[in-house]
Amino acid sequence: MFRRFWRDVILGTIFIFALMGLFGSLTAFKVFDIMDPIGEAFADMEFTDVYFSQLLDDPVADQNVVLVNVGLEPRAGIAVLLDSISKYDPAVIGVDLFFDYPKEDTLGDLMLMEALGRVENLVLVNKLSQTMGNLDPDSYDSLEWSDPMFTWNATPAFANLLTGANVQEDLKMCRRFVPQLELDNGENQVAFSVKMASFFDSEKAEKFLARGNEVEVINYRGNVLDYGATKFGNKYFALDVWDVYSGNFVSEIIKDKVVIFCFLGEELGDRENFEDKFFTPLNEIYVGRAFPDMYGGVIHANIVSMVLNEDYIYYLSDFQSWTLTVVMLFFTIMVFSWIYKKLPKWYDGITKVIQVILLVGIPYIMIYAMDLYSIKLELNILLIAIALSGDGLEVFYGVVKNSLSKEGRKELFKVSRL
Amino acid sequence: MKTPNITGTIMRKFVSIAITTMLVFAVGVANGQGYTFRVLANKGQNKVKKEGAATPVALKTGATLSDGDQLIASQGAYIGLMHKSGKTLEVRTPGTKKVSDLAKMVNTKSASVSSRYAKFLASKMNEKEQPNYRQRLNATGAAKRALAGDEQIKALIPAEDASVLGDKAIVTWDVLDDMEENVFIVTVKNIFDEEIMKEEVTGNSVVLDFTSEQMQNEEGLWIINVRAKENQDVSSGDIAIKRPENPSQYAEGLSSLKAEVDEDSPLNKVIYASFYEENGLIVDALTAIEEAIQMNPDVEDFKILKKDIIERNGIKVYEETE
């Protein structure tokens, strides 16, 4: 009797996973897609998006990072901006811009080249790339650089962010980034934001890289002048082109700080320009259709903040997540099976109540873990499994198990003869 | 038996007290930063009037603001402020704001995870759709290539918190350079949206007499609208003027000013304008300066002073050529 109970619990757990697998495979074949706009909307959503978007407690601003918007300034203008900022001795200037090829405006090119050359600590972006003949999607064998006339004084670092986009112009959701990556030739490349952080505090950057994670989750802090696109639209110093030209800022905000030259729209607060703009988990609208909320430069600023403040996010490996899911589902099925056998009349009511408690309680645990310990628990599969478990187990006992037993089949045929 | 080392114990206690004192001092220094806000980002022609300063100066990114300062946000301003606690605040409405008032808006306490989660669940449960299609017609499928009607007449009154102390106000407005209309319909409504006054005026100003029978208003609130007579679509939009919350607070200052300065000369009007502006009574200040202009229309300085009041209080930013 006791052994049979445990066998049923194990088989019931397997059945729920099989049921999920069945639904999953049907979804994989796009069978339900035509009538599943909700599933489509949720397809690119993680539970922590809700945390960042709606539940994150207002973080404090970071005074160690200054963003400078280059707007639509030509290269000569960017040179003037660089000179205006670098004279106040920032710890590092990161330029989140590519300067491909010399332009017809030779004077502008020369001005920019010299201005970049005058910056004491300069980090200039490059891009991890794959050559045409490289058929391995996991291998990066080359780097895309600005024209060499602009790079001679710069420390290189890659600006690639982890998104689902195939090209820069696609809609992009950015939750994670790659802190360092080894090229096919064995050369180690470091991310733009981590490299900038290393100029400010090399120990903290080393400590971050020493975690050894191939991918890191970005612990977002906030945005700059975003008109409500996120709840935290004001977390970094931000200077517009005009501010720098007219000296409309206090120089002490620059000294010994991380300064990022980047594109933040034609002017600060530009909501109509989507060049280099991303969706982030901070987006006020966390599911379905929304506008991108954050420029790439601000994402780099968030990563710099995370590294310098050691606000890392810890997350479970796939194996750990699956183990946790299996164990918790097993216990749920055990309780439900006991109720099914001992309190059959109460089964529907009690299991539904337990399901509701778990479906509210598990997200609470996920939020709690994230908020207090910065641990990202991805238990979405467990939530789906629990949602299916009550009725699924009834199907298991009522249909699967009965159809496999002689008495069950006999009972069914007896009814059909009536 | 081991003898207790008294000297060692005293030393340990001394070191412990010294460290504690240093820590307390360090925390005190960290908390006692000499500012209330620091400007993180600053969009618009915004200004700050420092405590004790006669005139406001341009607001700089990174500047610090203290409790006694006043922030003057221009039309379309977007100012990001960081409180000394590290929490942030945005100012997106034009007008003069006291830094001490802004500081009260900063929530320096953190909510618990449970309360945030409960609040989120409650807000989701109470979320209402707008089933009525009539409430969802705010956007058009068209591009704008001209200014909207509400932007073609710019009433020179603060968009928010326009308080009036006097019995009379002169409301003026600017129109676009290429606008030919010179005849306007000024309407005044009460809080119940009932029209209590309508007047056709030629030129760009109207005198509102709050003591007149039709303007009598227990609520102390008047909603003013200016429209071009020939094109009713061209309007200023509705702008509210109200009585200040505690008019008696100005009585002493005003009576002592009246005792010393007559109101009958243009220069004295400027002094009154200055008094009103200092007390945040911008409508009265503009009325006084307008009276000075009407008494001496050839004096350019009065017009410049009027523009200064308008700009300082975030009503409008004039182009340099104007």
Residue B311 half-sphere exposure, CB side, CA atoms within 13 Å?
A: 19
Higher pLDDT, residue A325 or B117: A325
- Using the predicted structure, report yes or no on whether residue A417 has a pLDDT greater than 60: no
CA A262 to chain B, closest CA, distance in angstroms equals: 15
Q: Is A256 on the interface with B (CB under 8 A)?
A: no
User: Best interface-test mutation with B: which of A49, A58, A230, A251 has the largest number of B CBs within 10 A?
Assistant: A58
Judged by DSSP in three states, A262 sits in strand
Nearest to B60 among A236, A248, A269 (CB): A248
**Least confident span in A163-167, A190-194, B52-56, B290-294:** A163-167
Q: Which helix (H) or strand (E) holds A128?
A: strand A122-129
From B80's Cα to the closest Cα of chain A, the distance in A is 6
Tokens matching residue A163: 């998104």
B240 touches chain A (CB under 8 A): no
Q: Per residue in B41-73, is it b (16+ CB within 10 Å) or e — as a string?
A: bbbbbbbbbbeeeeebeebbbbbbbeeebbbbb
Please work out, in degrees rounded to the nearest 5, the angle formed at the alpha carbon of residue A216 by the alpha carbons of A358 and A238. Answer: 105
Residue listed under structure tokens 């009407």: B294
- For A66, which residue in chain B has the nearest alpha carbon? B40
Count the Cβ atoms, other than its own, within 10 Å of residue B74.
21
Tell how strand B95-98 and strand B70-73 pair up: antiparallel
CB of A239 closer than 8 Å to CB of B61: yes
Query: CA nearest A252 in B: which residue?
Result: B62
Mean pLDDT of B235-247: 84
Per-residue confidence band for B6, with pLDDT thresholds at 50, 70 and 90? very low
- The shortest CB-CB distance from A252 to any of B62, B80, B116 is to B62
Contact between B106 and B89 under an 8 Å Cβ cutoff? The reply is: yes
Candidates A277, A296, A240; CA nearest to A77 is: A240
pLDDT attached to residue B4: 42
pLDDT tens digits for range A149-197: 999 999 999 999 998 887 777 888 899 999 999 988 889 999 999 999 9
DSSP at B168: E
Band of pLDDT at residue B26, cut at 50, 70 and 90: very low
Given a contact cutoff of 8 angstroms between Cβ atoms, the answer to whether A401 and A85 are in contact is no
Beta strands in A188-340 (DSSP E): 188-190, 216-217, 236-239, 258-262, 277-278, 294-295, 314-315
The predicted structure's pLDDT at residue B129: 61
Structure confidence at residue B175 (pLDDT): 83
Q: Would you state the pLDDT for residue B102?
A: 93
Identity of residue A378? E
Say what percent of chain A tops pLDDT 90: 55
Matching residue, tokens 């000179």: A83
**Range scoring the smallest mean pLDDT among A79-88, A112-121, A175-184, B214-223:** B214-223
C-beta neighbour count of A63 within 10 angstroms: 17
Cβ atoms of A261 and A97 closer than 8 Å:
yes
Across A213-222, A349-358, B260-269, least confident range: B260-269
Mean pLDDT of A121-136: 86
Cross-strand partners of A162: A176
Nearest CB to B40; choose among A61, A252, A363: A61
From chain A, the residues in CB contact with B74 under 8 A are none
Mean pLDDT of chain A: 88
First to last CA, chain A: 33
The answer to whether the Cβ–Cβ distance between B61 and A235 falls below 8 Å is no
CB burial readout B147-169, b (16+ within 10 A) else e = eebeebbbbbbbeeebbbbbeeb
Tell me the C-alpha distance between B132 and B150, whole Å. Answer: 26
Q: What is the mean pLDDT of residues B132-138?
A: 63
| CA-to-CA dists, residue A343 to A10, A52, A111, A205, A388, angstroms | 20, 42, 82, 58, 20
* For residues B14-39, average pLDDT: 57
Run of H or E including B43: strand B37-43
Residue appearing with tokens 């200016």 = B226
If pLDDT is split at 50, 70 and 90, which confidence band does B130 have?
Answer: low
User: Which has the closest alpha carbon to A15: A399, A279, A353, A286?
Assistant: A399
Among the ranges given (A222-226, A388-392, B310-314), the one the predictor scored with the smallest mean pLDDT: B310-314
Cα angle vertex A250, ends A246, A253, to 5°? 125
Query: Does B81 touch chain A if contact means CB atoms closer than 8 Å?
Result: yes
Task: Report the residue of B39, B40, B64, B120 to disrupt the A interface, i.e. the one with the largest count of A CBs within 10 Å.
Answer: B40
* Residue of chain A with shortest Cα separation from B79: A225
Chain A touched by B85 (CB under 8 Å) = yes
Closest Cα in chain A to B123 = A54
> Which tens digit of pLDDT belongs to each residue from A51-87?
888 888 889 999 999 999 999 899 999 999 999 999 9
CB-based contact, A232 to chain B, within 8 Å: yes
Which residues on neighbouring strands pair with residue B183, listed in sequence order?
Answer: B202
Which chain A residue's Cα is nearest to B37? A61
Mean of the pLDDT values across residues A300-311?
A: 96
Test mutation, A68, A234, A284, chain B, max B CBs within 10 A:
A234
Q: Which positions ≥6 away from A38 have C-beta within 8 Å?
A: none
Tell me the mean pLDDT in the region B309-314.
Answer: 85
Q: Under an 8 A CB cutoff, do B42 and A267 touch?
A: no
Q: Between A417 and A372, where is the model more confident?
A: A372
Q: How far apart are CA A174 and CA A179, in angstroms?
A: 14
> Which among A67, A88, A268, A272 is the top mutation candidate for probing chain B, defined by the most B β-carbons within 10 Å of its own β-carbon?
A268
Burial of A375: CB neighbours in 10 Å, binned 0-12, 13-18, 19+: middle
Residue B306 in tokens: 């009027």
Side chain identity, residue A3: R
Place of tokens 């006043």: B70
Chains A and B form CB pairs within 8 A to the count of 95
Higher pLDDT, B102 or B32: B102
Neighbours of A395 (CB within 10 A): 15
| pLDDT band, very low/low/confident/very high, at A274 (cuts 50, 70, 90) | confident
Mean pLDDT of B178-205: 85
Q: What is the largest CA-CA distance in chain A?
A: 97
Q: How confident is residue A324, by pLDDT bands cut at 50, 70 and 90?
A: very high
